[in-house]
Amino acid sequence: MTERPYKDETLLTHAGNKPRANFGIVNPPVYHASTILYPTVAALEAALKDKFSGVTYGRNGTPTTFAFEEAVAAVEGGERAIAMPSGMAAIAGALLTFLKQGDHLLVSDSVYSPVRGLCGGTLAGMGIETTYYDPTIGAGIAALIRPNTRLVYLESPGSLTFEVQDVPAIAASARARGCLTVLDNTWATPLYFKPFEHGIDVSLHAGTKYITGHSDTMMGVVICRADHYQQLKTAIHGLGYCAAPDDCYLALRGLRTLAVRLARHQETALTLARWLQARKEVTRVMHPALPQDPGHRLWKRDFGGASGLFGFALKPYSPAAVAAMLDGMELFGLGFSWGGYESLLIPTKPQALRTAVPWFSDGPCLRLHAGLEDAGDLIADLERGFARLGAAA
Ligand SMILES: *Cc1c(COP(=O)(O)O)cnc(C)c1O
């Protein structure tokens, strides 16, 4: 594409595609490759010197990988992207790139919980210490930054509890002290939050979620400015992470329709969130696009929209009553991950995860992903669920 200031919907539609280089075929071919053959010894030696530019070895990426990376980077507003085999690999790859023995790491208390396992296990074993911070800390992060603090890790909103972080304030405080910031932008997608405009150094996504969007692919991506690319790519190369070409193809195909899918996810989720707010069984709905939500002001200031994932807390119903509700859902699936076309509803236990600040509710919490079904049908399914909850209480 030319360097015109195209809008996101246009970038989502065209970025990364090169039909003229592929017989006019709209989508990039899926290149399966390990060995790449060079015509001469001189060409082989040149590729060894500059192994991250062009097609040099299967693990370093093929034109399918590069098409996906180029498109994600364009919409996210970064300069380069690196496709990864999963969201968790993107997180591990980014952290292992920048952290070394003796470093201190600050992680939001609202973080995707497997990250706690990485920090408390592998990273701790390498002599990297983690401190969890209140996700609403904002500029107060400065007080937690030590001389050896190397990196501040953010997730906004938290994908289980939906606190919106003051990303610009945290990024500015971190930068003033020489710390890098890494943000998990999975909830907002490259469409609804622009990390690099808010001072973030490196962003990442579980492409498994909305980017792929069809619950059939594991995918991750790390996005950065040009100045961090070589360091990230070198570390990730050494760790051996690479995304499979079929998965890059599916992720890019998903990206093409992200804008229309997200608009619908957003609308349906808001309809359900407002309906839930009025239910007597519900004590609080955690959705930053609701004016009553504590994160609403920051969400409105910094985000271009809301995706379809939110939470709600129930009155203190018994686990058996909650199970009676969830076991009988017809349209809402009971499973992890989200961002596909289908609705999901799962029980969550934020109170069991928190270490920096206690969670506000002891009661059961649920996390809902609004899929692309008819909102009225989803509400009817929830209504029958609440009837089971009441009957079992
Ligand atoms: C799912 C998820 C991840 C991990 O992605 P995988 O592709 O499942 O490894 C990371 N961060 C967030 C916010 C997620 O929801």
Distance 52 CA to ligand 1 centre (A): 26
Ligand 1 pocket check for 87: Cβ under 6 Å: yes
Which residues face 314 on adjacent strands? 282
Same domain membership, residue 337 and residue 378:
yes
Same domain membership, residue 264 and residue 240:
no
Same domain membership, residue 210 and residue 324:
no
**Pocket residue to mutate for ligand 1, from 86, 88, 216, most atoms within 8 A of Cβ:** 88
Ligand 1 pocket check for 130: Cβ under 6 Å: no
Alpha carbons 216 and 106: distance in angstroms, whole number: 33
Residues 376, 331: contact at Cβ < 8 Å? no
Question: Is residue 367 assigned to a domain?
Answer: yes
Ligand 1 pocket check for 112: Cβ under 6 Å: yes
Which pLDDT score, from 0 to 100, does residue 1 have? 53
Tell me the Cα Rg of the chain: 22
Question: Is residue 234 assigned to a domain?
Answer: yes
Give the tokens for residue 356.
Answer: 């920096």
**In b/e form, how buried is each residue of 235-269, taking b as 16+ CB within 10 angstroms?**
bbbeeebbbbbebbbbbbbbbbebbebbebbbebb
Which residues, in sequence order, are CB contacts of 122 under 8 Å at separation 6+? Answer: 92
Q: Looking at 218, 236, 256, which one is the last position of a domain?
A: 256
Ligand 1 pocket check for 195: Cβ under 6 Å: no
Catalytic residue among 209, 233, 261, 367: 209
Which pLDDT score, from 0 to 100, does residue 360 have? 87
Q: Looking at 241, 256, 271, which one is the last position of a domain?
A: 256
- Which residue has the CA at smallest separation from atom 15 of ligand 1? 159
Query: Is 209 part of the annotated catalytic residue set?
Result: yes
Catalytic residue among 8, 109, 184, 293: 184
Which pLDDT score, from 0 to 100, does residue 2 have? 54
Residue range of the domain that includes 334: 259-392
Same domain membership, residue 246 and residue 273:
no
Catalytic residue among 18, 59, 175, 384: 59
Measured CA to CA in angstroms, residue 322 lies from 285, 310, 365, 377 at distances of 17, 18, 9, 20
Distance 280 CA to ligand 1 centre (A): 32
Which pLDDT score, from 0 to 100, does residue 361 have? 84
Question: Is residue 105 assigned to a domain?
Answer: no
Distance 87 CA to ligand 1 centre (A): 5
Ligand 1 pocket check for 108: Cβ under 6 Å: no
Number of domains into which the chain is organized: 2
Same domain membership, residue 237 and residue 354:
no
Ligand 1 pocket check for 208: Cβ under 6 Å: yes
**Coil, helix or strand at residue 280:** coil
Q: Which atom of ligand 1 is nearest to the CA of 159?
A: 13
Alpha carbons 247 and 218: distance in angstroms, whole number: 7
Host H or E run for residue 356: none
Q: What CATH code is carried by the domain that includes residue 30?
A: 3.40.640.10
Give the tokens for residue 126.
Answer: 């390498």
Question: Is residue 119 assigned to a domain?
Answer: no
Ligand 1 pocket check for 236: Cβ under 6 Å: no
Same domain membership, residue 388 and residue 286:
yes
Question: Is residue 19 assigned to a domain?
Answer: yes
Query: Is 112 part of the annotated catalytic residue set?
Result: yes
Same domain membership, residue 245 and residue 263:
no
Q: What CATH code is carried by the domain that includes residue 322?
A: 3.90.1150.10
What separation, in Å, do the N-terminal and C-terminal C-alpha atoms of the chain show?
A: 59
Which pLDDT score, from 0 to 100, does residue 290 have? 98
Same domain membership, residue 243 and residue 324:
no
Helices first, then strands: H and E counts in the chain: 15, 11
Alpha carbons 257 and 302: distance in angstroms, whole number: 23
Same domain membership, residue 343 and residue 211:
no
CA angle 27–32–33, rounded 5-degree value:
130
Same domain membership, residue 228 and residue 370:
no
CB atoms within 10 A of CB 182: 26
Question: Is residue 155 assigned to a domain?
Answer: no
Question: Is residue 78 assigned to a domain?
Answer: yes
Same domain membership, residue 379 and residue 294:
yes
Query: Is 166 part of the annotated catalytic residue set?
Result: no
- State the 10-residue block means of pLDDT for the chain, 393 residues long: 81 95 95 97 95 94 97 97 98 98 98 98 98 98 98 97 98 98 98 98 98 98 97 97 97 98 98 98 98 98 98 97 98 97 97 92 94 98 98 94
Question: Is residue 118 assigned to a domain?
Answer: no
Catalytic residue among 8, 103, 109, 112: 112
Which pLDDT score, from 0 to 100, does residue 362 have? 82
Query: Is 388 part of the annotated catalytic residue set?
Result: no
Same domain membership, residue 347 and residue 326:
yes
Q: Looking at 221, 256, 291, which one is the last position of a domain?
A: 256
